[in-house]
């Protein structure tokens, strides 16, 4: 099976899991717990590779990981705990922006290529970064117009999408930096064609909570 086919199959099953997790609040809570645990395991393995015989620094890395993942999962949990049916479309909106950012970067980077964006992640290019913004704007705006359930009265929707896409790319680069320090390509092997769970949601961990906080402030 080719790398592209592996990505398609893995993405299909990931979307199925996400779809079922949004059926009710209990399922989503369980999904967030499992997801957080898996990401923490992968981050622990990364810090073990970076700080091989330095237990203290491993513990500091694990503590920061717990805080980072808690910031992600607890923010979503609190946001959805009162009005799950009404507010889950907002999470889907943010997911679409993050996923489109990832896909846009991959497609434009592969098709156009060009100058490297940073030494942190050699595969990141300026064309890929532009593609991330373009696809995120298209997909995010279309969903926003179709769903029409998100009200940002004091925040332009295009600026909002660009900001979330930018934060998703920063989150991606943060994990890419850790992988580079650990001298690994993927955070795990659980997802064929993708690597680990963290490889797929690295941008979401930073972007989604920030998006929810902005929505709470400006809605």
Q: In this predicted structure, which of 28-32, 80-84, 105-109, 201-205 has the lowest mean pLDDT?
A: 80-84
Please give the structure tokens belonging to residue 42: 């992968």
- pLDDT in the model for residue 92: 85
**Looking at residues 119-134, what average pLDDT do you find?**
81
| C-alpha dihedral (109, 114, 3, 99), degrees to nearest 10 | -10
What is the dihedral sign for C-alpha 15, 19, 20, 25? positive
- pLDDT in the model for residue 136: 94
- pLDDT in the model for residue 39: 93
Q: Residue 162 and residue 140: Cα distance in Å, rounded? A: 10
**Looking at residues 174-178, what average pLDDT do you find?**
91
- pLDDT in the model for residue 79: 83
Evaluate if residue 3 carries a pLDDT over 60.
no
By the 8 A CB rule, do 109 and 127 touch? yes
Evaluate if residue 23 carries a pLDDT over 90.
no
- pLDDT grade, residue 164 (50/70/90)? very high
Q: Residue 131 and residue 16: Cα distance in Å, rounded? A: 26
pTM of the model: 0.87
- pLDDT grade, residue 44 (50/70/90)? very high
């Amino acid at each position: 099976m080719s790398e592209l086919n592996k990505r398609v199959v893995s993405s299909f099953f990931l979307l199925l899991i996400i779809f079922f997790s949004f059926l009710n609040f209990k399922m989503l809570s369980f999904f967030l717990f499992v997801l957080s645990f898996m990401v923490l395991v992968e981050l622990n393995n990364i810090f073990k590779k970076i700080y091989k015989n330095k237990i203290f620094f491993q513990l500091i890395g694990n503590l920061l990981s717990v805080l980072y993942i808690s910031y992600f999962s607890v923010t979503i949990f609190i946001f959805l705990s009162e009005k799950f049916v009404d507010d889950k479309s907002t999470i889907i909106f943010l997911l679409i922006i993050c996923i489109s950012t990832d896909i846009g970067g991959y497609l434009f980077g592969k098709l156009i290529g060009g100058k490297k964006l940073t030494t942190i992640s050699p595969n990141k290019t300026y064309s890929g970064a532009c593609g991330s913004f373009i696809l995120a704007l298209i997909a995010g705006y279309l969903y926003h117009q179709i769903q029409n359930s998100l009200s940002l009265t004091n925040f332009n929707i295009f600026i909002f999408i660009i900001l979330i896409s930018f934060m998703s790319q920063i989150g991606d680069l943060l994990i890419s930096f850790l992988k580079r320090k650990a001298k690994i390509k993927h955070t795990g092997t659980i997802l064929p064609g993708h690597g680990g769970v963290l490889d797929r949601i690295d941008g979401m961990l930073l972007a989604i909570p920030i998006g929810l906080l902005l929505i709470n402030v400006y809605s």
